[in-house]
Structure 1
Amino acid sequence: MTMDLPIEVAGEGDLAALHVLIEAAYRGDSARRGWTHEADLLGGQRTDIEALAAIVGDPGQRLLVARGPAGLAGCIQIAVKDGGTGYLGLLAVDPEVQANGLGARLIAAAEAHLAQLSASQVEMTVIRQRTELIAYYQRRGYTLTGEVRDFPYGDARFGEPRTGDLAFVVLAKSL
């Protein structure tokens, strides 16, 4: 069953709810209720209010949110880099409502926004150990580029690694 919740651009009033949603989807025991978590690879925080405020306040970025009856059910970050390449990040769906199509709807909305912003391609990074998530994106038309980027070890803003071999793979898709 697809969730037909409204998807709109987040504002400053959404920051606290966004933070709760993202942490619940990515970290700790709450994340383990869903299938897309990083809780076994990383502890600590996934993001903080300051980082979210920087995204919301940056005219070159947006956080799209899906609003449900009980509050935010999902979000996704978009940005356009120099050269017209779009970026997707921070895709989070409340673990209680995962596997119902909301993630795919958020991705489609993000891609539509990026196309309106004249992006011809979109890329994302995913921790290479998250093979199920990589496969999910591949089913949505993304391909591995072969590029691998370093994980920011030592920067607690990105979490506390539980393994020493984390890295990001880059996936891309033409719009």
Structure 2
Amino acid sequence: MVDLREAAEAEYPDIIAMTNRAFREPAGQADWKVETLVDGRRIEESLLRDDLAEPGAKLLIWRDAAGEHMGHVRLDEGPDGAWYLAMLTVRPDRQDGGLGRALLAAAEDYARARGGRRMRMTVVHQRPELIAWYERRGYALTGETEPFPYGDDRFGTPTRDDLYFDVLERTLGPNA
């Protein structure tokens, strides 16, 4: 069972470190799980704090019964029951054991319990395997896109100039 709780500020350094390992360090991970299209860090403290300063933003952490940090996710409560999911992260050394699926389901349950009716997210268009992973979990491409934040080094340094995000969405019905 995944028990999510709001992360304490003292946990931010560990959350930042795990996010950067999971998103940008390929050692021991399948290629599709790593953002090789962007060099450098995935997130830094200033970006995390800016994200969490937004109304409705929550950083949720998952620790197992022994207190080990298993993963985390950022959720932003939006208007009309729409929630935004970002930074879904599980320990890189524990991937391929269903932890990502479990964390995603727990994040959806968290939003649903607070009136969430749908979950939205963005994924880099040039990561088709990751998009397919979310599609297998009930997310669908909306046809909407968002620009990549070129020039903001807090997101890392893109290795190509054609990156953009696809928007995916899933309905969070009572039995979804």
Q: TM-score, normalised by structure 1?
A: 0.88
The superposition leaves residues 84-118 of structure 1 with CA deviations (integer Å, 9 ceiling, x where unpaired) of 31110001111110111111111111111111222
Tell me, in whole angstroms, the C-alpha distance in 2 between the residues paired with 1:120 and 1:21. 29
The answer as to whether partners of 1:79 and 1:114 remain within 8 angstroms in 2 is no
- SS at structure 2 position matched to 1:79: strand
The answer as to whether partners of 1:61 and 1:80 remain within 8 angstroms in 2 is yes
The letter of the residue matching 1:138 is E
Task: Give runs of aligned pairs for residues 154-165 of structure 1, distance below 5 A.
Answer: 154-165=151-162
Partner of 2:44: 48
The answer as to whether partners of 1:63 and 1:75 remain within 8 angstroms in 2 is yes
The answer as to whether partners of 2:82 and 2:120 remain within 8 angstroms in 1 is yes
Deviation at 1:82, TM superposition (A): 2.6
Tell me, in whole angstroms, the C-alpha distance in 2 between the residues paired with 1:91 and 1:169. 16
- SS at structure 2 position matched to 1:13: helix
Task: Give runs of aligned pairs for residues 2-151 of structure 1, distance below 5 A.
Answer: 4=1, 6-30=3-27, 33-34=29-30, 35-38=32-35, 40-56=36-52, 60-68=56-64, 69=66, 71-151=68-148
Deviation at 1:155, TM superposition (A): 0.8
Shifted more, 21-30 versus 145-154: the winner is 21-30
The answer as to whether partners of 1:148 and 1:169 remain within 8 angstroms in 2 is yes
Q: Percent same amino acid at aligned positions?
A: 38
Deviation at 1:57, TM superposition (A): 5.7
Deviation at 1:165, TM superposition (A): 0.9
Q: TM-score, normalised by structure 2?
A: 0.87
Deviation at 1:7, TM superposition (A): 3.1
Tell me, in whole angstroms, the C-alpha distance in 1 between the residues paired with 2:118 and 2:136. 17
Shifted more, 73-82 versus 17-26: the winner is 73-82
Q: How many residues align?
A: 170
Structure 2: gaps spanning 5 or more residues:
none
Structure 1: gaps spanning 5 or more residues:
none
RMSD (Å), alpha carbons = 1.9
Tell me, in whole angstroms, the C-alpha distance in 2 between the residues paired with 1:14 and 1:168. 28
The letter of the residue matching 1:75 is H
Which portions of structure 1, spanning 4 or more consecutive aligned residues, are displaced by more than 6 angstroms? none
